[in-house]
A and B are shown apart, each in its own frame.
Chain A
Amino acid sequence: DVKVTQSSRYLVKRTGEKVFLECVQDMDHENMFWYRQDPGLGLRLIYFSYDVKMKEKGDIPEGYSVSREKKERFSLILESASTNQTSMYLCASITFSTGYEPQHFGDGTRLSIL
C-alpha cells in the first residue's frame, strides 16, 4: 500500500514565521501535490511537482513556495505566515506511468496561524 506521510498532524505558528510542511511518499511516484482544504471551498491546488526539482503553480500559489530535492519528499513553505493561511493542508502523490491511477493522500496538517 502507498504510504504518504505528513510530518505534523497539528501545527500552531505565529504571524510572520517561516513555516515548513513536509510530505514523504514511499511508492516512487513522480507526481506530488499540495492542497489546502477550507470549508465550502473543497480542495484547492497550491503547487505540484512532476519530477525532482520541477514545480508548477496550482490555482492559489501566492504566499507559498515548494521544494522537491528528492523524489520521495515534497515540502511546502510559507515564507511569512499570515492568519489567512490557517487551514488544513493535504499532500498527495500519484503516478501517471501506468495509466490513470488514484491520488494517495496523507492524513493532513491542520495549521493555525496566530
Chain B
Amino acid sequence: GQQVMQIPQYQHVQEGEDFTTYCNSSTTLSNIQWYKQRPGGHPVFLIQLVKSGEVKKQKRLTFQFGEAKKNSSLHITATQTTDVGTYFCAGEASGTYKYIFGTGTRLKVLA
C-alpha cells in the first residue's frame, strides 16, 4: 500500500538556525498537505501543494513539491521558539479521497 516516509524524526536546532524536513511517497500524489502539531494540540493545517514543482512561501516557511509529485519539503528559515512542534506531511493518491500521513518531524528550538 501507499507509504509516506518523513525524515528526520527529530531535530534540535539553536534559535536562528534553519530547519528542513523531507517527505517521500511510494506513489505519485495528487496533492500534499503540511500540518503543524504543537505539544498537547491537534494537527493544524499549514499549506497544500498541488502542482508539480510548486513552491509556496509563508513568511519564514518555504514548501516545495517535487517534479514527480512523490516528494516534498518544508524549510524554515531562522527558527524561533514559536516554531516548536511536530510537522507532518500528508499525501493523497489520486482519487482515493484519503490522506496518508508521514511519521512526522519533531522540532525543538533551543533559545
Contacts and interface: CB of A to CB of B under 8 A. Distances in A.
Given A40-B103, A41-B103, A90 B43 contact: yes
B98 A43 contact: no
Contacts of B102: 42
Contacts, number: 53
Interface of B: 1, 6, 9, 31, 33, 35, 41-45, 48, 50, 88, 90, 97-104
B64 to A, nearest CB: 17
Given A50-B97, A96-B97, A100-B31, A43 B42 contact: no
B42 A90 contact: yes
B97 A102 contact: no
B103 A56 contact: no
A42 B97 contact: no
Which of B33, B45, B99, B100 has the largest count of A CB atoms less than 10 A from its CB?
A: B99
* A: interface residue count bin: 20 to 34
Given A90-B42, A90-B43, A103-B33, A58 B98 contact: yes
Contact of A108 (B42, B48, B88): B42
Contacts of B41: 107
Given A50-B97, A103-B35, A103-B99, 9 more contacts: A40-B103, A41-B103, A42-B101, A42-B102, A44-B101, A100-B50, A102-B48, A103-B90, A105-B42
A108 B42 CA distance: 7
Given A100-B50, A102-B33, A102-B48, A107 B98 contact: no
